């Protein structure tokens, strides 16, 4: 019998025949390219990968991936993806969503997918604006943001997506940006490898309706001095190692390492530590602090579909496989006359 050799996949194998239709210069192009580059590394057949999206600019994503995919309902992508993963646990399931899609109409679906530790890879493209509907303030728009829906400035405090994911119990929480392709790829790789609810916030630029909203700390020329890269087991330093950060009484404290030397010891980051440390770091924002990027949390917890299977085995053992009538009458029953 002749052995069939599986051809090694390349990025091109994951590019669909659909014309990519985002605005010229949109950060989504970078994210799409990095995801397509990542796919061959995973060693998973194309037919065993699915991308699920809701509604928004980011939600065009499944059209451009040569895998299975669903372009679903506004905000409901995590719910539909949960059903897919529950019925086909062998698939790797990705959710692509935006700050409006996930955090407004889709808020409940989003937090419960994380709470249940469903084995989903959730990519949230955060551009702090509703792009597809032409520039209204979103749940992550900064306070005072003047937009088409808020011409005098929004009076609503924005969501912090990292706080929300941590509070919902996500077992993997990370942040990266679209204009740092190397770090973006690293974070996508970590997201793909995690077993359980993996949430990655991608700071993404909308060139038409909210251009340069993150540029004050993501631009290449200021990145080193305005961002702090969280790496497990390494000290929290930035600005070429001349500055650092540690937590004192649960609050972030900035350190001048060049001046104070050994007297100022930065914190060694532990992505598996108590969640309070991740919350504290996620509260750091420019201009007062460097903006943290990297992995806020990565822990192991029983995965939803595995618990589902274990429960199913226990029930079948107790009641007998395939006995629907017995299952329906397994608890208290009432006869209504």
Residue 38 main-chain phi, psi, to 5 deg: -70, -40
Does 297 or 327 have the greater pLDDT score? 297
State the greatest distance between any 2 C-alpha atoms of the chain, in Å, as a whole number: 85
Model confidence over 149-190: pLDDT tens digits? Answer: 999 999 999 999 999 999 999 999 999 999 999 999 999 999
Say if residue 317 is exposed, middle or buried (CB neighbours under 10 Å; 0-12, 13-18, 19+). exposed
Alpha carbon of residue 227 to chain centroid? 19
Model confidence over 132-144: pLDDT tens digits? Answer: 999 999 999 999 9
pLDDT band at 1 (very low <50, low <70, confident <90, very high): very low
Query: Bridge partners of 230?
Result: 294
Confidence at residue 76, expressed as pLDDT on a 0 to 100 scale? 96
Domains annotated on the chain, with CATH: 11-221+273-304 (3.40.50.970)
Confidence at residue 327, expressed as pLDDT on a 0 to 100 scale? 73
Average pLDDT over residues 46-55: 97
Model confidence over 255-282: pLDDT tens digits? Answer: 999 887 666 899 999 999 999 999 999 9
Confidence at residue 326, expressed as pLDDT on a 0 to 100 scale? 76
- Say how far apart CA 337 and CA 331 lie, in whole Å: 19
Average pLDDT over residues 110-125: 98
Confidence at residue 318, expressed as pLDDT on a 0 to 100 scale? 81
Query: What distances in angstroms separate CA 111 from CA 123, 159, 162, one per listed residue?
Result: 14, 13, 12
Whether the link from the prior residue into 287 is cis, omega within 30° of 0, is: yes
Residue 233 main-chain phi, psi, to 5 deg: 80, 5
Does 250 or 10 have the greater pLDDT score? 10
Nearest to 229 by CA among 215, 216, 241, 219: 241
- The total of other beta-carbon atoms located within 10 Å of residue 65's CB is 22
Average pLDDT over residues 15-44: 97
Residue 119 main-chain phi, psi, to 5 deg: -75, 70
Model confidence over 298-332: pLDDT tens digits? Answer: 999 999 999 999 998 888 888 777 777 877 777 88
Average pLDDT over residues 41-45: 95
Residue whose entry in the numeric block shows the structure tokens 């993996």: 198
Q: What is the mean pLDDT of the chain?
A: 93
Average pLDDT over residues 229-255: 94
Average pLDDT over residues 275-290: 95
The answer to whether 117 and 197 have CB atoms below 8 angstroms apart is yes
Percent of the chain's residues with pLDDT above 70: 97
For the chain, the residue count is 337
CB contact set of 97 (below 8 Å; sequence gap of 6+): 53, 54, 56, 58, 59, 77, 78, 106, 110, 122, 123, 124, 125
Give a three-class secondary structure readout of 239-270: CCCCEEEEEECCEEEEEEHHHHHHHCCCCECC
Record the tokens describing residue 333, joined without a space. Answer: 């029953």
Is residue 238's pLDDT more than 50? yes
Average pLDDT over residues 114-123: 98
């Amino acid at each position: 019998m002749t052995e069939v050799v599986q051809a090694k996949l390349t990025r091109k194998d994951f590019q669909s025949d659909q014309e990519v239709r985002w605005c010229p210069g949109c950060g989504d192009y970078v994210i799409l390219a990095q995801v397509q580059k990542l796919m061959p590394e995973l060693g998973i057949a194309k037919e065993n990968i699915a991308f699920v999206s809701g509604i928004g600019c980011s939600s065009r994503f499944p059209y451009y991936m040569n895998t299975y995919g669903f372009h679903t309902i506004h905000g409901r992508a995590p719910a539909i993806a949960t059903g897919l993963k529950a019925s086909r646990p062998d698939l790797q399931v990705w959710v692509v969503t935006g700050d409006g899609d996930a955090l407004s109409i889709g808020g409940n679906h989003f937090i419960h997918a994380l709470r249940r530790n469903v084995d989903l890879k959730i990519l949230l493209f955060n551009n702090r604006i509703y792009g597809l509907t032409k520039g209204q303030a979103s749940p992550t728009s900064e306070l005072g943001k003047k937009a088409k829906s808020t011409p005098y400035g929004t009076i609503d405090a924005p969501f912090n997506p990292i706080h929300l994911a941590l509070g919902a119990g996500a077992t993997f929480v990370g942040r990266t940006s679209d204009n740092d392709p190397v770090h973006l790829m690293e974070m996508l790789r970590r997201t793909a490898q995690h077993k359980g609810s993996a949430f990655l916030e991608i700071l993404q630029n909308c060139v038409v309706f909210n251009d340069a909203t993150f540029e004050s700390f993501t631009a290449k020329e200021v990145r080193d001095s305005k961002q702090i890269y969280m790496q497990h087991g390494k000290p929290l330093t930035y600005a070429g190692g001349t500055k650092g950060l540690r937590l004192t009484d649960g609050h972030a404290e900035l350190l001048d390492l060049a001046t104070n030397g050994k007297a100022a010891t930065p914190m060694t980051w532990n992505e598996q530590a108590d969640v309070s440390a991740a919350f504290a770091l996620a509260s750091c924002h420019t201009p007062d602090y460097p903006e943290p990027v990297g992995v806020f949390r990565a822990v192991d917890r029983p995965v939803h579909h595995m618990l589902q299977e274990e429960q199913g085995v226990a029930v079948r053992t107790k009641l007998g496989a395939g006995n629907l009538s017995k299952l329906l009458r397994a608890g208290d029953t009432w006869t209504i006359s």
